[in-house]
Copies of this chain bind each other. A is one copy, B any other.
Amino acid sequence: MPDTTGGPLAGLRILELGHFVAAPFCTRLLGDLGADVIKVEPPGAGDPVRQWGARHKGQSAWWSVHGRNKRCITLDLKKPRAREIVLRLVGESDALVENFRPGQLDRLGFSEAALREARPDLVIARISGYGQDGPQRDRAAFGVIGEAIGGLRHLTNHAPGTTDLPPVRTGISIGDSVAGIYAAFGLMAALWRRDATRHGDGRGRSLDVALTESILSLLEGALPEYGALGTVRQPTGGGIATAAPTNAYRSRDGQWVLIAANSDPLFQKLATLMGRPGMAEEPGYRGNQARCANVAALDAEIGAWTALHEAAELERMLAAADIPATRAYTAADCAADEQFRHRGMVREVEDSTLGPMLHPGIVPLLPDDPGAIRWAGPPVGAHNDEVFGGLLGLSEGEIAKMRQEGVC
């Protein structure tokens, strides 16, 4: 049994039939807050994320984080014996999180009816590219495609006409991650309704979270603006259409420094710092509206000034003048940040395979009951004996037979 060192979800058991990013990210969040997460992987190489990104000692560094706090077991879901085991695990679980292609679990013998027969009040969180129904449900779920359909990729670009370069990816699997957080939220909402003393109804519920829809939900007023006014939100590069100056400016040492001085008092401070105190009174820059109208010239002036100073020097000067600013943090900057360190948001974790590793901390932070990083992402099948034997009560002989027959 895991050492449940607290967190609000201690006592909750979650079964993960997941892979790649979305479902495992959802269960990482649940495990961070104390849930007992049992992750089912195919025997052999396991979840492909174990091989993704830069490797350290032959293993993905990402996996150290992605798999933390999970009990990892292997089962070949195509084998009847594995199906029996999964349904027994369902019987011992509060919720299931999965991100197979819609319909695939049904075909493997895990229809909702079968799952609920094993555990009538099971909460089922399904995550997919486009949702469990509808004309596009069978479409292949690629993150970059889903983010583009959700409307994000159109916006992560410079203003039309600025460049021939394509719109950028956010650089991370943002659609999968946001879908994963939404699934964690919905799962807890369903569990609250199931379990609450006063409001609970004892019923299991199902969630159907789509990557595309998770992104669409973040688009502020883009949809109602289009519906009411016919205006189509366009990308605005490093800036914001309705506020200036706010952008990233290059320092002498080639770093990007964000400066957000888009109120009159902040702009006055910036103008003074730039040695141009009168600038805030020039007709072209007086008031936010004028500054937005002349933002290209304004950004060029600020950029000419930042190019004279190193990033660290700019940060010091801007902070002393109380102007919101920062360099664009790299992973190295994140790792060194005193605030992240103070709050345990960058911390060293002992990984039994990799040794000491840097992990991001637990979000959301509950200061009085924070949960813990109990262990880093474990090897494939590390908890087979513990789960099959300890939790389900199978004998050593039964487990050996499963291994022999390729069930686990």
Is A330's CB under 8 angstroms from B186's CB?
A: no
Query: Which residues of chain B are within 8 angstroms of A188 by Cβ–Cβ distance?
Result: 185, 188-189, 191-192
Query: Which residues of chain B are within 8 angstroms of A1 by Cβ–Cβ distance?
Result: none
Selected contact of A153 from candidates B139, B200, B221, B328, CB within 8 Å: B328
Query: Which residues of chain B are within 8 angstroms of A317 by Cβ–Cβ distance?
Result: none
Query: Which residues of chain B are within 8 angstroms of A239 by Cβ–Cβ distance?
Result: 169
Query: Which residues of chain B are within 8 angstroms of A186 by Cβ–Cβ distance?
Result: 33, 364, 366
Is A364's CB under 8 angstroms from B185's CB?
A: yes
A211 smallest CB distance to B (angstroms): 10
A201 smallest CB distance to B (angstroms): 9
Selected contact of A342 from candidates B135, B229, B356, CB within 8 Å: B135
Across the A-B interface, the 6 shortest Cβ-Cβ residue pairs: A155-B171, A62-B221, A227-B358, A186-B364, A188-B188, A166-B238
Is A240's CB under 8 angstroms from B359's CB?
A: no
Is B250's CB under 8 angstroms from A367's CB?
A: no
Digit string of A160-200 for contact with B (CB within 8 Å is 1, else 0)? 00111111111111100110011111101111110111111
Query: Which residues of chain B are within 8 angstroms of A134 by Cβ–Cβ distance?
Result: 338-339, 342-343
Is A260's CB under 8 angstroms from B142's CB?
A: yes
Between A and B, 28 residue pairs with Cβ closer than 8 Å are A8-B189, A52-B221, A53-B220, A54-B225, A54-B229, A136-B339, A144-B260, A145-B260, A145-B324, A148-B327, A148-B329, A150-B329, A153-B328, A155-B172, A158-B165, A163-B165, A166-B238, A169-B236, A185-B188, A193-B369, A205-B368, A210-B345, A212-B340, A217-B363, A219-B360, A222-B334, A227-B335, A227-B358
A140 within 8 A of B: yes
Tell me the bound Cα distance from A325 to B226 in angstroms: 24
Q: Size range of the interface on A?
A: 35 or more
A64 within 8 A of B: yes
A365 within 8 A of B: yes
Residue from A163, A322, A343 with most neighbouring chain B CB atoms (10 Å): A343
A10 smallest CB distance to B (angstroms): 8
Is B145's CB under 8 angstroms from A238's CB?
A: no
Is A208's CB under 8 angstroms from B367's CB?
A: yes
A237 within 8 A of B: yes
A280 within 8 A of B: no
A16 smallest CB distance to B (angstroms): 16
Query: Which residues of chain B are within 8 angstroms of A217 by Cβ–Cβ distance?
Result: 360-361, 363
Query: Which residues of chain B are within 8 angstroms of A327 by Cβ–Cβ distance?
Result: 148
Selected contact of A213 from candidates B8, B165, B365, CB within 8 Å: B365
Is A169's CB under 8 angstroms from B237's CB?
A: yes
Query: Which residues of chain B are within 8 angstroms of A198 by Cβ–Cβ distance?
Result: 11, 195
Counting every copy of the chain, the complex holds: 2
Tell me the bound Cα distance from A276 to B115 in angstroms: 48
Query: Which residues of chain B are within 8 angstroms of A53 by Cβ–Cβ distance?
Result: 220-221, 225, 242
Residue of B nearest to A266 (CB): B140
Selected contact of A339 from candidates B130, B195, B337, CB within 8 Å: B130
A216 within 8 A of B: yes
Is A148's CB under 8 angstroms from B331's CB?
A: no
Residue from A332, A346, A357 with most neighbouring chain B CB atoms (10 Å): A332
Residue of B nearest to A190 (CB): B8
A271 within 8 A of B: no
Is A133's CB under 8 angstroms from B172's CB?
A: no
A69 within 8 A of B: no
A194 smallest CB distance to B (angstroms): 8
Query: Which residues of chain B are within 8 angstroms of A208 by Cβ–Cβ distance?
Result: 364-367
Tell me the bound Cα distance from A62 to B324 in angstroms: 26
A96 within 8 A of B: no
